[in-house]
Structure 1
Amino acid sequence: MNQTTRILAIRHGETAWNVDTRIQGQLDIPLNATGRWQAEQLGRAIADEGLDAVYTSDLARARETAEAVGRGAGLPLVLDTGLRERAFGVFQGLTFAEIEAQWPEAAVRWRKRDPSFGPDGGEVLTEFYQRCVDTAARIAAAHPGQSIALVAHGGVMDCLYRAATRVDLQAPRSWLLGNASINRLLWSPEGFSLVGWSDTQHLDGAVARDETNDASGAGRVGHAA
């Protein structure tokens, strides 16, 4: 029996807070007009992928994106809170600059990807990583030999990339986390492997924003969680 699960890992479409570089975390921010357009393009692009299930974070920006995926695939959505973005506590709702001004020492630990750091009221980086990887593995294990979509957030995508490529949690990020991008992984009982990353051909040159204000780090500086 084929135990390998094919995964399309998808970050949600753009939100107004992505544009403003404002930390969303687990606050329930909807897609903006661009994000809704991106979701529709995405849904059409993967309509023929032969998906067997569509799982999504329950937060609005991911759920709205997943609804377009589900329509394209003719499948219902399965909501899973384990796919939520990192809880960012007191950082949520603030811009990078505001965080640095209010909590300079905490901002340094965050930007340096301190594995033991979590903002007041938020998740520690190592705990967030383990949650993401465990959730994705649990879901994939339920679909051996099948193809599934996981619609989630920038921080979740970053964790899955690291798990698939064995990149250390503290290593600076050099890969994209574009809104509504398609990222392809395989899962087997041995773990995750990378097939392809950050496919945005379906967006036809539209801006695919790469903010980790979704809320796990500081852009391409390499601090997404």
Structure 2
Amino acid sequence: MRDALEEVWVRTLYVVTHPEATHHVDGLVGGWFDSDLTGQGLAHAGQIADALAGRLPSHGVVEVFSSDLLRARRTAEVVADRLAVRVVFDAALREKSFGEAGGRPKAWLEERFVPPPASGERLRHDEGVPGAETRWELAVRAYAALDRILQSKAEHQVVVTHGGTATFLLAAWIGMPIGAAGLVGFQFSSGGITLLREDDRVHSRRVVQLNDVGHLT
């Protein structure tokens, strides 16, 4: 039985979607295409870092994890520099690979894209683009990445990733079985911060704030 005076351990996890990248403004498919932040995106990375610094305590361990793609890496480095910590890069936090479509005009992808069925096997659906990942492959690595992150007992963690990947990180966070995630979709904006929290008393994983962009100007 827990002593009434025993302190409850709380984990706070911030999922950050990288801000504006060059492929956004150039109308290109992202995925594993290694686009950089735009000037505005870099400015927003600074605003993300300031927002996190204002929310995180001045003491205690803070961990920063990031996709290794340039647009996420640059964001994470700005955040980590502001928080005076190092970044752990993980390729499993990358966006979905769009294969041959990566770096091409979005119209090229749209002409070849095969939408998933309304029901049935959606995650393993072949979208019709050579070399592209299925959403199942994205989901498997996103779930595994979150599992590795949660093995740490750090009370404060920041994860810098991409919109598509963030959906599956959130599904994994709430304990959704991966096989049930075929219909799930959350709207994440560039530069948004999602706040997640759990404690070791009731062990519930809460979505405290989804895709906050109030820090961006």
TM over 0.5: yes
Normalization by structure 1: what TM-score?
0.77
Q: Secondary structure at the match of 2:20?
A: coil
Counterparts of 1:188 and 1:135, CA distance in 2? 20
1:196 is the counterpart of 2:202: no
Q: Which residue of 2 aligns with 1:136?
A: 146
- More moved, 188-197 vs 60-69: 188-197
Q: Which residue of 2 aligns with 1:220?
A: none
How do residues 106-185 of structure 1 correspond to structure 2 at under 5 angstroms? 106-109=113-116, 114-118=122-126, 119-142=129-152, 144=153, 146-165=155-174, 166=176, 168-171=180-183, 173=185, 175-185=186-196
How do residues 1-225 of structure 1 correspond to structure 2 at under 5 angstroms? 5-48=11-54, 49-50=56-57, 52-101=62-111, 103=112, 106-109=113-116, 114-118=122-126, 119-142=129-152, 144=153, 146-165=155-174, 166=176, 168-171=180-183, 173=185, 175-186=186-197, 192-204=205-217
1:120-156 CA distance string (max 9 Å, x none):
21222112112101101211212x2511101111111
Q: Is the Cα contact below 8 Å between 1:70 and 1:77 reproduced in 2?
A: yes
Amino acid in the other structure paired with 1:201:
G
Counterparts of 1:18 and 1:187, CA distance in 2? 34
Sort the Cα spacing of 1:155 and 1:127 in 2 relative to 1 into closer, same or farther, 3 A: same
Q: Is the Cα contact below 8 Å between 1:25 and 1:88 reproduced in 2?
A: yes
Counterparts of 1:117 and 1:44, CA distance in 2? 40
Amino acid in the other structure paired with 1:67:
E
Amino acid in the other structure paired with 1:146:
E
Unaligned 5+ segments in structure 2 are 1-6
Higher-Rg structure is: 2
Counterparts of 2:81 and 2:33, CA distance in 1? 25
Deviant stretches of 4+, over 6 Å = 110-113, 188-191
Counterparts of 1:194 and 1:90, CA distance in 2? 35
Normalization by structure 2: what TM-score?
0.80
Amino acid in the other structure paired with 2:189:
G
Once the two structures are TM-superposed, the CA of residue 22 in structure 1 deviates from its matched residue by: 2.0
**Identity across matched positions, percent:** 26
- The two structures, once aligned, show a CA RMSD in angstroms of 2.8
Q: Is the Cα contact below 8 Å between 1:8 and 1:149 reproduced in 2?
A: yes
